[in-house]
Structure 1
């Protein structure tokens, strides 16, 4: 399953609005004979790609998949149908599909005589599937905000963004859209989703948090990366509509006082739980998740 989770992450930033899913096929002796992941909407799903790689060796074996196989016809046939036709004997599922229709893929696989195990390494699989699932639950894209803070810990509106550039460039391929401080909006990695998946706004985003979320949701994206510091990003965070923050706090002297008149120093915004703290050459990198 950890291998399936690892390869599923290769679909981050390209599968939306579909989920990033990975699948590994084991033969009857437990040897890996095929693996695959979902690349983008309209193309084969992870199970089909893995079964194609395994061929006849899948018979009597096990399918290990990060998300419950789909049970409905869309642009592609249902994955539970491919699994049944492959004659695998067992299916391990990490996360159940909240969009499953009718009885669900797992129930139909059991009805076909397969052994099915659910919630196998679920928490680990959600490291990849979590933003997609959160987008479904919240009815809006999963949003991460990266900014440089001042010495008081607050977002620095005068940041040059230099310290964040490498972070943005590293993460952008895992997100559907990137929104920059100056207002520019672009696909995380140009062309990865295929044609006609997103409708990017042609006008400047609203400064109202609620309206901005509506505008971003209408793009069809599941995950968005905000880069830099502007009031509208702060408003989104204050309204509880930013799911994750990554801030760069400048390093200070071993003994330092902000002086009188400076308010309470914070590392990340209120309403977020600190989950990671690491040191760079010139800053401390902090990660917080919405509580």
Structure 2
């Protein structure tokens, strides 16, 4: 069982893993926290982009010798293969940690898997720690692996003219690989944020057929796509494939949104969160029925 310190560390790892949203594709956004043998945090790190060090290595580097005998708390099972970087499970073994907690198992793990190799090295492993919380960050990446297409979010303002480039909109863009603007412009959520040979921005127009549009976005290397605006042509083409809608409700305090949201949530979507952005409420709804066949 995870201790209170370890649960706190996992929530911290989940929080910092989100720093990689919008830049890690095709790799997953992962966070890691290292606790020393007394349970005190001594290092943390996250994965930024393909080709850079993974979260575990960054956290171990920060911790140094204090990692020996300690615990690694990581949001995704440590990788078990040599790619552009050495396997993270070996870095943990070499650092002589005594325990590894992981939230989500990696479906792309090679061979026996990083968790099994860690156990064979005599390291105690705990799986599924705060898995559902970690899926808030890792869920879209896993969805993209499972379906073979990007996770698509459509963001717009209800019943009003679209807002400008405020800070909340910019932050939302930063969390996605690709952004399709209202005028059809396509850009990286974080400009030049991905590895040079791992990602490209497709040239508009993407076409008039949904399958061709989806193919172009997938071939670009995107795992997450944000479509902006009520009247976005791409949103209309891909309406049946949208996985998440984010609806800003102007001049409506968050506490009043649930009372006035009739008709705001599209059919087939389930409200999962009500928040606020400045002076307006924000609804987040996800599709109720899996679209895995796409």
- Report deviation, 1:284: 4.6
Aligned residue among 143, 164, 180 for 1:134: 143
Superposed counterparts of 1:91-170, under 5 Å: 91-150=100-159, 160-162=161-163, 165-170=166-171
Superposed counterparts of 1:6-155, under 5 Å: 6-150=15-159
Instruction: Select the structure of larger CA radius of gyration.
Output: 1
**Residue matched to 2:292:** none
**Residue matched to 2:287:** 290
TM-superposition CA deviations, 1:108-133 (whole Å, max 9, x none): 00011110000001011111111111
Q: Is the 8 A contact 1:168 1:227 kept in 2?
A: no
**Residue matched to 1:232:** 234
CA separation in 1, counterparts of 2:283 and 2:105? Answer: 32
**Residue matched to 1:273:** 270
C-alpha spacing 1:284/1:164, structure 2 compared with 1 (3 Å): farther
Q: Is the 8 A contact 1:66 1:125 kept in 2?
A: yes
Give every structure 1 segment of 4 or more consecutive aligned residues whose post-TM-superposition deviation is greater than 4 Å: 163-166, 249-252, 278-284
CA separation in 1, counterparts of 2:111 and 2:56? Answer: 20
The runs of 5 or more residues in structure 1 that have no matched partner are: 151-158, 255-264
- Report deviation, 1:285: 3.0
**Residue matched to 1:196:** 197
**Residue matched to 2:291:** none
**Residue matched to 2:210:** 209
- Report deviation, 1:13: 1.2
CA separation in 1, counterparts of 2:167 and 2:45? Answer: 29
Q: Is the 8 A contact 2:157 2:163 kept in 1?
A: no
CA separation in 1, counterparts of 2:236 and 2:132? Answer: 30
C-alpha spacing 1:48/1:56, structure 2 compared with 1 (3 Å): same
State which drifts further: 202-211 or 170-179. 202-211
SS state at 2:101 partner: strand
**Residue matched to 2:179:** 178
- Report deviation, 1:93: 0.5
CA separation in 2, counterparts of 1:289 and 1:126? Answer: 14
The runs of 5 or more residues in structure 2 that have no matched partner are: 1-9, 257-261, 289-294
> Structure 1 length as normaliser, TM-score?
0.86
